[in-house]
């Protein structure tokens, strides 16, 4: 039996922590996510947020990239169906539930660093560039006037 030294114990702990921390946060499939009940989405969203808070900046960036790629991989018809489902769920929420979601989103954005906000804005612009002309026009029609 090998001799157990404090150094080996510390080395083993560091390795275990590294493996536990190195587990990437997988982005959910957008269509599967849309099929979940709102309560299940809330539970899974909370779990994802907790895992992302503990993740490194590179892991968070990889998560956002993976989610963006999954959304971009959808056909225009699939994106439209997903948007319609999301819109229907939003409209089914009570005003208090909507206010809570808006507040949570605002808090998340305010908690981001300026660099993270710039990256998010850049990613959104890139996504808009990849949309078809009718999809962009539909988005413009739905935006409130400023």
Is 116 in the same domain as 77?
A: no
Residue 78 lies in a domain: yes
Is 79 in the same domain as 107?
A: no
- Whole-number Å distance between alpha carbons of 56 and 103: 25
Predicted local confidence at residue 145, as pLDDT: 55
Is 44 in the same domain as 87?
A: yes
pTM metric for this prediction: 0.58
Is 30 in the same domain as 84?
A: yes
Query: How many CA atoms does the CB half-sphere of 105 hold within 13 Å?
Result: 6
- pLDDT per position as a tens digit, 78-126: 888 888 888 888 888 899 988 998 898 899 889 888 998 998 899 888 8
Is 42 in the same domain as 59?
A: yes
Residue 76 lies in a domain: yes
- pLDDT per position as a tens digit, 69-83: 888 888 888 888 888
Residue 117 lies in a domain: yes
Residue 141 lies in a domain: no
- pLDDT per position as a tens digit, 9-58: 444 444 445 444 446 788 888 888 888 887 788 889 889 888 988 888 88
Using a CB cutoff of 8 Å and minimum separation of 24, what contacts does 125-133 make? Answer: 127/68, 127/71, 127/72, 130/72, 132/76
- Domain boundaries, position 36: 25-92
């Amino acid at each position: 039996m090998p001799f157990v030294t404090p150094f080996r114990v510390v080395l083993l702990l560091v390795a275990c922590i590294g493996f536990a921390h190195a587990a990437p946060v997988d982005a959910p499939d957008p269509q599967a996510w849309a099929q979940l009940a709102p309560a299940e989405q809330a539970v899974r969203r909370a779990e994802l947020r907790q895992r992302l808070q503990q993740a490194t900046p590179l892991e968070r960036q990889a998560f956002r990239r993976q989610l963006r790629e999954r959304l971009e991989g959808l056909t225009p018809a699939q994106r439209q169906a997903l948007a319609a489902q999301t819109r229907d769920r939003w409209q089914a929420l009570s005003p208090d539930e909507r206010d809570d979601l808006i507040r949570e989103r605002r808090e998340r954005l305010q908690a981001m660093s300026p660099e993270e906000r710039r990256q998010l804005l850049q990613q959104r612009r890139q996504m808009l560039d990849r949309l078809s002309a009718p999809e962009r026009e539909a988005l413009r029609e739905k935006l409130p006037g400023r």
